[in-house]
Amino acid sequence: MDYPLITLKRGKEASLQRFHPWVFSGAIASDCTHIDEGDIVAVQTSEHDLIGYGHYQIGSIAVRMLTFDDTPVDEHFYALRLTEAYRMRQALGLQRDDNNTFRLVHGEGDFLPGLVVDIYGHTAVVQAHSPGMHFARDIIAQALTNLPDGIVRNVYYKSETTLPYKAHLDPVNDYIIGKYDTDIATENGLRFRVDWLRGQKTGFFVDQRDNRTLLEHYAPGRRVLNMFCYTGGFSVYALRGNARLVHSVDSSEKAVTLTNDNVELNFPDTDRHQAFAEDAFKFLEQIQPEDYDLIILDPPAFAKHKTALRNALVGYRKLNARAFEKIAHGGILFTFSCSQAVDKEQFRLAVFSAAAQARRRVRILHQLTQPADHPINIYHPEGEYLKGLVLYVE
């Protein structure tokens, strides 16, 4: 194919030959000034052997590789990758009468770096994280509607906050195909109103599905505190699991409304639930020890980049220490980090320090991660981001 050429410096091809999908700008020998952001480029070794094709972008990650051979990046390419992604979700058993909510494309994990697609019933919410995927959005939307079983009828494009602002792409959040269908998504038989127009990310945190199922198992008879509740996912599962009471906390009024709506949708007559618009740290300060015997801490990413790592670890330690100080004896703590920059060991160390600070006896019951519809490309370990611990606190 006739794509602009990028030639690597000698010795810089090793990680690509092991299928790592990123080319860093420092690895490039050739002049890139004639290449536009979002262009498809051909990447070759210093010996001029073709490695594959990828999307070019200005920044530290200069190319996100799409192929590792000479397969052209055209509508057939997208159709094939999306069909493969869909087949895998079918194999996982995620498309059922009682479950129509899942992640169809998880970037590098589905060999489509820069692209995220979540499915809510017949609506696909598409997020581009790279200019290349932004320019491919119409082809992607078309390919989504051609998926087997006619699963996708509406494609909503939501990239206003995910594209690098310096690229001046001015994306507009809007339907590319179809429009509003229903905003009720079903997850494991529970119903959630998903606000993909205004909500965070694609509107719902699909990645906690398996962890919410585990929480339901521990809920019977417990007094549950769901911190950082957002749409109330954990709260609704806890109610179905026969928790004695569930309190949901989020600093955003809008999240509290969403949580109340979702509780109402599933348990219209319950008097076991209450939601509070309050800062998590303040709330934890105010409660009494022994008030709750199951606490969930699922904060937003404290470190979006490596530079914020130290502060993030302090944040996790402080937050978890507050929970250890207050949780009842024999209580269970579900604690998470979704910061990609914080690895499993660092997170565990922060939680360990918090436990020691609160002087509680703590045992690890489960080590949690992201679900199978957020797969990790084995050549791209950076794709692992969600970490969780379930702890028994004496």
Interacting positions 271-300 with ligand SAH (CB under 6 A): 279-280, 298-300
Residues 6+ apart with CB under 8 A from 145: 152, 153, 155, 177, 178
Among 45, 57, 100, 231, binds ligand SAH (CB under 6 A): 231
Task: Look up residue 188 and give its two tokens.
Answer: 């494991």
DSSP state of 205: -
Of 116 and 280, which CB lies nearer to ligand SAH in the complex structure?
280
Task: Pick the piece of the chain touching ligand SAH (CB under 6 A) from 131-139, 224-232, 326-334, 377-385.
Answer: 224-232
Measure the CA angle with vertex 62, ends 343 and 75; round to 5°.
100
Tell me if 367 contacts ligand SAH by CB under 6 A.
Answer: no
208 binds ligand SAH (CB under 6 A): yes
**Which of the ranges 24-32, 123-131, 154-162, 247-255 carries the binding residues for ligand SAH, by CB under 6 A?**
247-255
- Report whether 306 contacts 279 (CB < 8 A): no
Count of residues near ligand SAH by CB under 6 A: 17
Query: Residue 375's closest CA among 104, 22, 82, 101?
Result: 104
Active-site choice (119, 296, 338, 362): 338
Beta bridge partners of 367: 389
Where does this chain touch ligand SAH (CB under 6 A) — which range of 7-15, 120-128, 130-138, 229-237?
229-237
- Which listed residue (233, 241, 315, 371) binds ligand SAH by CB under 6 A? 233
Is 205 a binder of ligand SAH (CB under 6 A)? yes
Q: Least distance (Å) from ligand SAH to the CB of residue 225?
A: 12
Collapsing DSSP states into helix, strand and coil, what is residue 132?
Answer: helix
Task: Judge residue 330's burial from the number of C-beta atoms within 10 Å of its C-beta, 0-12 exposed, 13-18 middle, 19 or more buried.
Answer: exposed
Looking at the Cβ atoms of 43 and 312, the one nearer to ligand SAH is 312
Is 32 one of the catalytic residues? no
Q: Kindly state whether residue 230 participates in binding ligand SAH, applying the rule CB under 6 A.
A: yes
- Residue 234 found at the interface with ligand SAH (CB under 6 A): yes
Q: Which of 279, 236, 230, 282 is nearest to 257 (CA)?
A: 230
Please compute, for residue 47, the number of CA atoms within 13 A of its CA located in the half-sphere on the CB side: 5
Task: Judge whether 56 and 25 are in contact, CB under 8 Å.
Answer: no
* Residue 388 lies near ligand SAH (rule: CB under 6 A): no
Q: Are 102 and 373 spatial neighbours (Cβ–Cβ below 8 Å)?
A: yes
Instruction: Tell me if 323 sits within 8 A of 295, measured CB to CB.
Output: yes
Tell the smallest beta-carbon distance from residue 339 to ligand SAH (Å). 12
* Residue 315 binds to ligand SAH (criterion: CB under 6 A): no
Q: Is 228 a residue that touches ligand SAH (CB under 6 A)?
A: yes
Tell me the C-alpha distance between 312 and 333, whole Å: 19
Q: Is 270 in the site for ligand SAH (CB under 6 A)?
A: no
Check binding of 196 to ligand SAH (CB under 6 A).
no
Residue with tokens 């700008």: 25
Return the residues of window 53-92 that contact ligand SAH according to CB under 6 A.
none
> Angle of helix 233-240 relative to helix 253-266, nearest 10 degrees?
30
* One of 224, 255, 321, 372 touching ligand SAH (CB under 6 A): 255
Catalytic (active-site) positions: 338
Contacting residues toward ligand SAH, per CB under 6 A: 205, 208, 228-231, 233-234, 250-252, 255, 279-280, 298-300
